[in-house]
Amino acid sequence: MPELRYYEAVQRALAEEMARDERVFILGEDVGLVGGTFRATEGLMAEFGARRVRDTPIAEAAIIGVAIGAAMTGLRPVAELMTLNFGIVAMDQIINHASKISYMFGGQVHLPLVIRAAAGGGTQKGAQHSHSIESWFVNAPGIRVVLPSTPYDLKGLLKTAIRCDDPVLFIEHEMLYNTKGEVPDEEYLLPFGVADIKRPGRDVTIVAWSKMVHEALKAAELLAAEGIEAEVVDPRTLDPLDLDTILASVMRTRRAVVAEEGWRKVGVGAEISSQIQEALFYELEAPVQRVGAANVPTPYASNLERLALPDAQRIVDAVLKITL
């Protein structure tokens, strides 16, 4: 099976969907002539023309506002935000408009809008470009939130997102763009709300998404050397969340750690931890543990950035607290 880099999987999914459906178009900063900050739209303007790959001014609220209008009138826009941190500028458009329009029109209006955005730390981009703020969007009903961890998952989920009639926030981790993975040539789609067990295990369940899946897998290897077999569950989509697969795994292992790159305080990990403990309190051998970023803006200095962001060793430490 051929291998693709993470950003190449974005290119492939976009090209296939644009060739399949002429209503699909792309807009965003530097998506056309430059091909995107992370090369994810490289070559698409040459293939599909400037009418369907539109460079925009640096105006995130306008990008999302235009995309909402286009989606309401029957098109299927894919809007790119250079970083999800810039999405904060467009929060009114995303939360107060995109996520609510279908409800406000009694379900008579659909909003087939995809917002692609890079997120995450580890690249020394400092306090305004490095955060994982998916919890802010998961908190709002009406918008799907997707965080692929591999090129295979990315391609299948992005194609599903483009065909979805609901607004979708598609979050790509900056540190994953150059990672490689097997991606079949033939068409496939991955459904929302279906988690993937990235590694089976019997002693503890680690729930992680996006880049933290890779940290969880490293942690599982370290734990295996200690005789502890960890199961790594990747929800892949946080809205909808496949709680059934998570609970089934924890029922087997009776111990759980939730690892996220975002802040622990009021994070997605807190929500998943709460749902596990509400459903399985009497089945658990120990309290659910959470691993997340330090409660500070991500520092620029590389040594401080490493201290602020969670890694495999912190997952190992959390597992050892409940397995020894």
Yes or no: say if 145 and 180 are a contact pair by the CB < 8 Å rule.
no
> Smallest Cα–Cα separation from 171: which of 262, 99, 100?
262
| Active-site residue (options: 129, 131, 173, 214) | 129
Q: What is the DSSP string of 261-313?
A: EEESTT-HHHHHHHHHHHHHTTT-SSPPEEEEE-SSPPPSSHHHHHHHS--HH
Yes or no: say if 319 and 256 are a contact pair by the CB < 8 Å rule.
no
| Active-site residue (options: 8, 60, 261, 305) | 60
Q: Is the dihedral of CA 131, 132, 138, 143 positive or negative?
A: positive
> Smallest Cα–Cα separation from 87: which of 112, 124, 115, 55?
115
Q: What is the DSSP letter of 172?
A: E
Which residue is listed with tokens 């490289």?
Answer: 42
Q: What is the DSSP string of 205-222?
A: EEEE-THHHHHHHHHHHH
Active-site residue flag, 131: no
Active-site residue flag, 60: yes
Catalytic residues: 60, 129
